[in-house]
């Protein structure tokens, strides 16, 4: 695991089944509450996932990444965890989890679970104990409690904002009923931040990692991996003094931000690595770290988590120049560090890429402006969005490194932009009025059938309303249908399995600047036309294309693979 391996196309199957399976994997993210409901309560569950293992197998993915399924009040879609070593009773039991793991394993699919170490929920036993214990107690030390400022401690310890809007500090009522200390929450107030300087916190997470590893989990996705260590020495800087962060990027290139991407966080992951390596094959991890590209390698080091998300493509426009420079930069980084690249266009936090690409000039702030304007479907050029999304995904599958997919993208599913306020669930909608509409639109339950109350997701109405037009995207409508997005993904993933290697790509020149063309050492070529006119294709056999060719040419917004 510590050295970069070189693989040819003949031994990729060994890579995918051996200890290095994660280096070139196609990983499918499941947002459990919105995937498939087995018991008719309108909420997706673990048994629902088990029932769909044949579907996952037919898709040809290598691994599933499961967003949180732990007991939770769902103040932040499950990223507010009450108990790290159990299953939300509404989603099932540990026995159901074991059945799902066994079914995935029998289908040859690995399992990655989400670990949320920056904060628990405010219903976690430890937080309840902290509230019931006095100031200065050991129980309070597991979180970040501080006295307030002002004559009676009535002002927060600093004026910092939470990521979801509103203050990052919440005042508590002491056990004797008087207004008391404040606790830090970088996210919702129901998500108190842990104090990672506390040895009990550190020990408990090691226990959690072993708990799931012992149950057969193959890897972990680490939520806000860059937030755990904070500098809270007083006086804390006011928010006006906090360094300005880049768009979507937390922290600074020198690690000096008080709470994002501090160097000491890597001590934690070095300890975790030792736990991962207790297992054969070693458990894997991928960091969610919205940090500067130059700092990403630390999270992805073999002594640390091994892999980190690169969100660069997800933040880019559908543009040849942007794609070229992002891919080149990230592959150079992979070559230098030995940590394989990761690629992703959609996840549970962002607007689906089939919609993003169909918005006029990207809809402003990656679609946020469109959402604020009411998220009307009529403002989206669905056809263009889908064509581009298919082209982008096919290009991604031809890149060296891991490809992360988000449930529904294999259906070409669009974002639901116009969810009524009364149905919204995301805390960023409630905490940031007029600025953030939240992330519910990409979390609407999947359509499995073209008809029915919840399009086959559940026998009851889905927990987030599904629009009528979901019918068109249903699995039932696409399964076995030539040219459907589902069949495109299946075929692409099938081909990828036999073609993928660890070796890098070489860019080839094309006469047109809006075309990206590269070749892998085994002769596998990918060509994408980001322009508006059909272009000539290089010689060779086209094995797949994201849209039909026109008179033997590669049309606009299309990718083709040639061998």
Active-site residue list: 223, 278
Whole-angstrom distance, CA of residue 483 vs CA of residue 494: 15
CB 181 within 8 A of CB 135: yes
Q: Among all chains, which residue has been given the structure tokens 């039909």?
A: 548
Comparing CB distances to ligand GLC, the nearer of 76 and 218 is 76
**Considering the complex, what minimum distance in angstroms separates the CB of residue 427 from ligand GLC?**
8
* Minimum CB distance to ligand GLC smaller for 76 or for 502: 76
CB of 116 to ligand GLC, least distance (A): 6
Distance of alpha carbon 200 from alpha carbon 139, whole angstroms? 10
Check residue 65 for interaction with ligand GLC (CB under 6 A).
no
Question: Out of 97, 127, 187, 473, which residue is the one contacting ligand GLC (CB under 6 A)?
Answer: 187
Task: Give the one residue of 88, 223, 250, 557 binding ligand GLC; rule: CB under 6 A.
Answer: 223
In whole angstroms, how close is the CB of 33 to ligand GLC at the nearest point?
12
Element holding 110 (H helix, E strand): strand 110-115
Shortest Cβ distance from residue 76 to ligand GLC (Å)?
Answer: 5
Question: Does residue number 291 form part of the binding site for ligand GLC (CB under 6 A)?
Answer: no
| Angle formed by the axes of helices 382-397 and 485-499, nearest 10° | 10
Contact 125, 83 (CB under 8 A): yes
79 touches ligand GLC (CB under 6 A): yes
Distance CA 405, CA 353 (A): 11
CB closer to ligand GLC, 114 vs 218: 114
Query: In angstroms, rounded to a whole number, what is the distance separating the alpha carbons of residues 464 and 510?
Result: 46
Give me the least distance between CB of 510 and ligand GLC, in Å please: 37
Q: Which helix or strand (DSSP H or E) is residue 170 part of?
A: strand 169-173
- What residues have CB less than 8 Å from 105, skipping those under 6 apart? 111, 216
Burial 296-317 (b: 16+ CB within 10 A, else e): bbbbbbbebbbbbbbbbbbbbe
190 touches ligand GLC by CB under 6 A: no
The 521-550 site mask, x for binding ligand GLC (CB under 6 A), equals: ------------------------------
Would you count residue 286 as binding ligand GLC (CB under 6 A)? no
Beta carbon nearer to ligand GLC, 187 or 370: 187
Token code pair at residue 294: 């130059």
| Residue 380 makes contact with ligand GLC by CB under 6 A | no
Per the document, the length of the chain is 563
User: How far apart are CB 81 and ligand GLC at their closest, in Å?
Assistant: 9
Under the binding rule (CB under 6 A), the answer on residue 260 touching ligand GLC is no
Nearer to ligand GLC (CB atom), residue 81 or residue 236? 81
Q: Please report how close the Cβ of residue 191 comes to ligand GLC at its closest, in angstroms.
A: 6
Angle between helices 199-214 and 265-276 (to 10 degrees): 30
- Which residue reads 């073209």 in tokens? 450
DSSP string, 33-49: GGT--SSSSSS--HHHH
Size of site (CB under 6 A) for ligand GLC: 9
Q: Which is nearer to ligand GLC, 163 or 387 (CB)?
A: 163
Q: How many CB atoms lie within 10 A of CB 402?
A: 24
Least Cβ distance, residue 442 to ligand GLC (angstroms): 11
Distance CA 398, CA 536 (A): 20
Residue 76 contacts ligand GLC per CB under 6 A: yes
Burial group, residue 234, by CB count within 10 angstroms (0-12, 13-18, 19+): exposed
Site mask, ligand GLC, residues 100-139, x = CB under 6 A?
----------------x-----------------------
Which of 25, 224, 305, 499: binder of ligand GLC (CB under 6 A)?
224
Residue closer to ligand GLC (CB basis): 224 or 537: 224
Nearer to ligand GLC, 227 or 544 (CB): 227
Does 476 participate in binding ligand GLC (rule CB under 6 A)? Answer: no
Report angle CA 394, 396, 398 to the nearest 5 degrees.
75
The answer to whether 349 contacts ligand GLC (rule: CB under 6 A) is yes
> Which position's Cβ is nearest ligand GLC?
79
Q: Please report the DSSP string for 235-277 in residue order.
A: SPPPGGGSPPPPTT--S-TTS-SSSSS-TTHHHHHHHHHHHHT
- Give the residues lining the site for ligand GLC (CB under 6 A): 76, 79, 116, 187, 223-224, 288, 348-349
């Amino acid at each position: 695991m510590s050295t970069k391996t070189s693989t040819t196309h003949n031994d990729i199957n060994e890579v995918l089944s051996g200890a290095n399976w994660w280096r070139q994997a196609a990983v499918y993210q499941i947002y459990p509450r919105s995937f498939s409901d087995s018991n008719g309560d309108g909420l997706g569950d673990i048994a629902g996932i088990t029932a769909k293992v044949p579907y996952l197998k037919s898709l040809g993915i290598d691994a599933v990444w499961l967003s949180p399924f732990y007991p939770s009040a769902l103040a932040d879609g499950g990223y507010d965890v009450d108990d790290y070593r159990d299953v939300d009773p509404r989603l099932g039991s540990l026995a159901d989890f074991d059945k799902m793991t066994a079914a995935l394993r029998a289908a040859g699919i690995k399992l990655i679970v989400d670990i949320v170490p920056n904060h628990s929920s405010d219903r976690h036993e430890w937080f309840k104990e902290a509230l019931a214990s006095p100031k200065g107690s050991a129980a309070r030390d597991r979180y970040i409690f501080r006295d307030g400022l002002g004559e009676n401690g009535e002002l927060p310890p600093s004026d910092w904002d939470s990521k979801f809007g509103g203050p990052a500090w919440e005042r508590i009522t002491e056990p004797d009923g008087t207004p008391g200390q404040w606790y830090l929450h970088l996210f919702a107030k129901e998500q108190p931040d842990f104090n990672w300087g506390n040895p009990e916190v550190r020990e408990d997470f090691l226990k959690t990692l072993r708990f799931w590893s012992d149950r057969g989990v193959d890897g972990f996705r680490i939520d806000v991996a860059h937030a755990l260590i904070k500098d809270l020495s007083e006086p804390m800087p006011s928010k006006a003094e906090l360094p300005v962060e880049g768009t979507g990027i937390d922290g600074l290139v020198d690690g000096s931000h008080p709470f994002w991407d501090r160097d000491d966080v890597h001590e934690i992951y070095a300890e975790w690595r030792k736990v991962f390596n207790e297992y054969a094959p070693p458990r894997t991890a991928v960091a969610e770290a919205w940090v500067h590209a130059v700092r990403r390698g630390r999270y992805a080091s073999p002594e640390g988590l091994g892999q980190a998300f690169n969100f660069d493509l997800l933040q880019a426009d559908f543009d040849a120049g942007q794609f070229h420079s992002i891919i080149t930069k990230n592959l150079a980084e992979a070559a230098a560090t030995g940590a394989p690249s990761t690629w992703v266009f959609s996840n549970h936090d962002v607007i689906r890429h089939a919609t993003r690409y169909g918005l006029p000039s990207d809809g402003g702030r990656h679609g946020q402006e469109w959402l604020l304007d009411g998220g009307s479907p009529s403002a989206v050029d669905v056809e263009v969005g889908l064509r581009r999304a298919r082209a982008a995904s096919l290009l991604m599958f031809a890149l060296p490194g891991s490809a992360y997919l988000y449930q529904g993208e294999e259906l070409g599913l669009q974002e639901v932009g116009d969810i009524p306020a009364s149905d919204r669930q995301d805390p960023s909608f409630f905490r940031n009025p007029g600025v953030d509409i939240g992330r519910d639109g990409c979390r609407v339950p999947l359509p499995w059938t073209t008809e029915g109350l919840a399009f086959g997701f559940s026998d009851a109405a889905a927990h987030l309303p599904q629009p009528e037009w979901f019918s068109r995207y249903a699995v039932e409508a696409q399964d076995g249908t030539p040219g459907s997005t589902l069949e495109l993904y299946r075929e692409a993933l099938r081909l990828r399995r036999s073609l993928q290697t660890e070796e890098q790509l070489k860019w080839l020149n094309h006469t047109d600047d809006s075309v990206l063309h590269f070749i892998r050492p085994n002769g596998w070529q990918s060509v994408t036309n980001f322009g508006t006119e059909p272009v000539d294709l290089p010689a060779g056999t086209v094995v797949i294309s994201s849209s039909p060719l026109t008179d033997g040419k590669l049309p606009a917004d299309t990718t083709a693979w040639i061998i």
